Structure 1
Amino acid sequence: MSGGANGASAGAAHIVMLPWLAFGHITPFAQLARKLVSADGGGVRVTFLTAAGNVPRVEAMLAPSAAGAVVVVPLHLPHVPGLPAGASSTAELSADGAELLKVALDGTRPQVAALLAELRPVAVLMDFATPWVHDIAAPLGLKALHLSVFSATAGAFSCVPARRLHGPHPSAHDLRSAPAGFPEGSSLATIPAYQAADLTYLFTSFDGKPCVYDRVLASIEACDGIVMKTCAEMEGSYIDYLSGQFGKPVFLAGPVVPEPPQGELEDQWENWLSAFPDKAVVLASFGSETFLPVAAATELLLGLEATGRPFLAVFNFPRGADTEAELQARVPLGFMERVKGRGRVHVGWVQQQHILRHRSVGCFLNHGGFSSMVEGLVAGCRLVLLPMKGDQYLNAALFARDLRVGVEVARRDEDGWFGRGDVADAVAGAMADGGDGDLRKWREFLTDDAVQMRFTDEFVRQLKELLCRMAEAGTLFPYFKKKNYVHQGSVCFSFM
């Protein structure tokens, strides 16, 4: 294939992106791609690499604003024993299958090497799963940048060199405390036992393969810089800590705010939601890859019932699951009759952004996914946070405690159990007078187009200056022509 992109400027800086094969990773990469190609007068174009089965969905994410400036190129995953044929993302797999998917992505190394040699981009944005990208990029004179899809808070707590203090396999007890040198005064100095137990997964090797922690550190330690989709205003102390831990330049792309949704809300939801007063409805939704166990889902539904408010609860189940049987196991006996007219339970995808922006929706109960919380904030919804795994716990603490937007559902320390009363209390607290905390402040910040464009423009400027310095030092292949002017103190080059 050629390195061109239909409709993109031939002089644009060409960047390749390779996210991990989970839509919680693919989506932020795609959001950043849209921001980059719209910045600096079209000065960036992107080639986006992903498994062949994901291509249609990724192209849909990029349309229409990034059409032409982002080209999605399929990678063909090799056969891995035990991995279902055609599997392209973690959304289709069990936890064990997701580990095998890492092995399959490792197997695309020859394809990625051939593409980089042919495309000759100026930089590659890689994810945690593929630290070997740097080994391919360096001989070609390309910058390999680690793009973290996690909050700086989550990365600072869990995946820094200071965690090596307890050896390669820290215990749950070790993980209850923040690593050495962690920002003073942080609300995350310690975490509950159940959260620490969950984080041990990061240090667990499957079939002798590198664990998540090892892949993250290998990727960052090999890279030429760290890209984070956050900003100093939201996570300044954690960003500084990460930078100090790794000794790498950090480039901040700003929090990735979703573009306004296209089209109209489906009639079934518009008609149902419009029957309720403004800000009355609670939307409970947990993303496409967070699956609530039976007991947790049952208590959630009973808690929503106990609020007395109208609600829409959205569940997802792993691919191949018996959806009807899974739902029946979670819905209490007589529940649907008791909430008829004010409560609905739905399985599968919904137009979440449209629903959040509907005038009748006032509360968003979610799993603490960074993108989900931002979606709720920009829609003006009060947040109730019920994280279920990994970085979600740390994201929820950041938003609820540091940023003062959101109420966490109370949990039992040792095992994370919560009851219906805890859910109802959290919703009541969020919806009470003053329950919005600093929501208005952060909503205005996130929806300020000038602020968001400043983040993107500054990121692109810093990236280009990095590449210019490489060209001056002779460490970059000659994709630049020297210009006869100075820009903000840096010699500038134009892309050939």
Structure 2
Amino acid sequence: MGSKFHAFMYPCFAFGHMIPYLHLANILAEKGHHITFLLPKKAQKQLESLSLFPDSIIFHPLTLPPVEGLPVGAETTADLPPNTTGKLISDAMDLLRDQIEAKVRVLKPDLIFFDLVPWVPEMAKEFGVKSVSYQIVSAACVAIALAPGVELGFPQVPQQPGYPSSKVAFRGHDANLYSIFTNSHKRFFSRIITGLKNSDVASIRTCAEIEGKYCSFIERECQRKVLLTGPMFPEPQEKSVKPLEDQWNQWLNRFEPGSVVFCALGSQTILEKDQFQELCLGMELTGLPFLVAVKLPRGSSTVQEALPEGFEERVKGRGIVWGGWVEQPLILSHQSVGCFVNHCGSGSMWESLVSDCQIVFIPQLGDQVLTTKLLSEELEVSVKVHREDSGWFSKESLRDAVKSVMDKDSEIGNLVKRNHMKLKETLVSPGLLSGYADKFVEALEAEVNNTKSS
């Protein structure tokens, strides 16, 4: 066991980034290390309950400086109005450098974890602190970021053992999304890669069992070792997990095991009203009980006013559309839930894979398109909802995707279920998650010890 270290954590101010960073903080704290977690003030209230070691994980709230275009009071990407980008948040995070340097000077951490703030390695070196690039996006996404000039598909790399296949092309709306991703996300890509290449330790939240080929490609391109942390979420059997809220537990208890379709599209997805209504009608058309938890569509102040005409009456007793936050992992673990329709964001992807639910993806952003390709076409553990070239998905295409995995006699449904169960078995096999975590922490301890002894 290496000596105990003190780590700063400075993740992107988005819940999809902060939550996995907090899971990592729990694992480090469990092994006796101390963490100072830098985050916005309001986010602390939402994240505190996920900290299992309050004596070892100290939240240090930061006040974002004003940035042109950033609404007053906005602190995370979830606070941004429609049609604005996460660039505003990252600009504000860049302006916090002086504050963070002051904290590093006083508290003298051994390590500083970051993902999208590329100046952290330079700052860390000035103070003799080791920088750790910890990426929570998929390795496929990082691989694309490393393959300049590639417009469509996965990286065009030599077809040698250990390299990913480049057979997958983006078509229709996928191509549109990917084009948007590669253009508007050039800055996002650049920040990831600059940080990854300049950091003392490079790491990705993934495992070789799913993305081994992409990880090998990244190591070859960066000419350095990349540590894998595994999925980095609480062990499924963790005793401290609180029970599901009564409201949802009682409602779900009314239905047969494996019969309910649960749909959630993440904190950053805001649908247009007509697409939101089409989503609701698609769920109705499945004929199955369903729970939809999505953000209010654009221009609507309540869920009720946005619903299709007559919808509530028609689905009364078997369908709920909810505009607020729900405890996604706890809902997925309820025996009545049999299908998870989601956007394939990083957290939802892992939660899908360790659940017993059939998986249906409606990716919303370019990195989600990449991960959907990986899971639906390479690993064949899920299906995706068909979209038109314009990006629109119809109620029929949503219904068909759900029915294709929920109908007992469906060939594709049985195929993805078999493949998913095999992969889940691997992911939850005793020692896999803890094995990745142990190796990662040992590597960090060695890094800190080398610094102290040199």
TM-score by length of 2: 0.90
* 1:197 corresponds to: 176
* 1:123 corresponds to: 111
Aligned counterparts, 1:93-492, within 5 A: 93-94=80-81, 95-96=83-84, 98-128=86-116, 130-157=117-144, 159-160=145-146, 162-163=147-148, 165=149, 175-181=151-157, 186=165, 189-202=168-181, 204=183, 211-259=187-235, 260=238, 262-317=241-296, 322-324=300-302, 328-329=305-306, 331-412=307-388, 414-433=389-408, 434=414, 435-471=416-452, 474=454
1:400–1:204 CA distance, 2 compared to 1 (3 A):
closer
For residues 386-417 of structure 1, give each alpha carbon's deviation from its aligned partner in whole angstroms, at most 9, with x where no partner exists.
111121111112222233321111223x3333
For 1:61 and 1:72, locate their aligned partners in 2 and report how far apart those are by CA, in whole Å.
12
* 2:411 corresponds to: none
Asked whether the equivalents of residues 13 and 39 of structure 2 are also in contact (C-alpha less than 8 Å), the reply is: yes
What is the count of residue pairs matched by the alignment?
441
Please list every run of at least 4 consecutive aligned residues from structure 1 whose deviation after the TM superposition is greater than 6 angstroms: none
Asked whether the equivalents of residues 132 and 202 of structure 2 are also in contact (C-alpha less than 8 Å), the reply is: yes
1:188–1:353 CA distance, 2 compared to 1 (3 A):
farther
**Structure 1 range deviating more: 193-202 or 218-227:** 193-202
Residue identity in the other structure for 2:379: L
* 1:49 corresponds to: 38
Residue 38 (str. 1) matches residue 13 (str. 2): no
For 1:202 and 1:432, locate their aligned partners in 2 and report how far apart those are by CA, in whole Å.
34
Shift of 1:202: 4.8
Q: Tell me, which stretches of 5 or more residues in structure 1 are unaligned?
A: 1-8, 166-173, 475-496
Q: CA RMSD in A?
A: 2.5
What secondary structure does 1:436 align onto?
helix
Shift of 1:175: 2.0
What secondary structure does 2:296 align onto?
coil
Shift of 1:459: 0.6
For 2:252 and 2:431, locate their aligned partners in 1 and report how far apart those are by CA, in whole Å.
33
1:202–1:224 CA distance, 2 compared to 1 (3 A):
farther
1:201–1:106 CA distance, 2 compared to 1 (3 A):
farther
What secondary structure does 2:291 align onto?
strand
Residue identity in the other structure for 1:299: E
Shift of 1:213: 2.3
Asked whether the equivalents of residues 273 and 299 of structure 2 are also in contact (C-alpha less than 8 Å), the reply is: no
For residues 22-72 of structure 1, give each alpha carbon's deviation from its aligned partner in whole angstroms, at most 9, with x where no partner exists.
111111111111122224xx2x2211111222222222221xx22212111
Residue identity in the other structure for 2:77: T
For residues 337-383 of structure 1, give each alpha carbon's deviation from its aligned partner in whole angstroms, at most 9, with x where no partner exists.
22122111111112222221111111111111121132233231111
For 1:397 and 1:66, locate their aligned partners in 2 and report how far apart those are by CA, in whole Å.
37
Shift of 1:17: 0.8
What secondary structure does 1:147 align onto?
strand
1:201–1:21 CA distance, 2 compared to 1 (3 A):
farther
1:188–1:366 CA distance, 2 compared to 1 (3 A):
farther
Asked whether the equivalents of residues 156 and 182 of structure 1 are also in contact (C-alpha less than 8 Å), the reply is: no
Asked whether the equivalents of residues 258 and 375 of structure 1 are also in contact (C-alpha less than 8 Å), the reply is: no
Asked whether the equivalents of residues 2 and 442 of structure 2 are also in contact (C-alpha less than 8 Å), the reply is: no
For 1:357 and 1:282, locate their aligned partners in 2 and report how far apart those are by CA, in whole Å.
13
1:187–1:97 CA distance, 2 compared to 1 (3 A):
closer
TM-score by length of 1: 0.83
Q: What is the percent sequence identity of the aligned residues?
A: 34
What secondary structure does 1:309 align onto?
coil
For 1:284 and 1:321, locate their aligned partners in 2 and report how far apart those are by CA, in whole Å.
21
For 2:68 and 2:343, locate their aligned partners in 1 and report how far apart those are by CA, in whole Å.
33
For 1:10 and 1:321, locate their aligned partners in 2 and report how far apart those are by CA, in whole Å.
54
1:355–1:425 CA distance, 2 compared to 1 (3 A):
same
For 1:30 and 1:67, locate their aligned partners in 2 and report how far apart those are by CA, in whole Å.
11
Asked whether the equivalents of residues 164 and 214 of structure 2 are also in contact (C-alpha less than 8 Å), the reply is: no
* 1:73 corresponds to: 60
- Out of 18, 28, 48, the residue aligned to residue 26 of structure 1 is 18
1:277–1:372 CA distance, 2 compared to 1 (3 A):
same
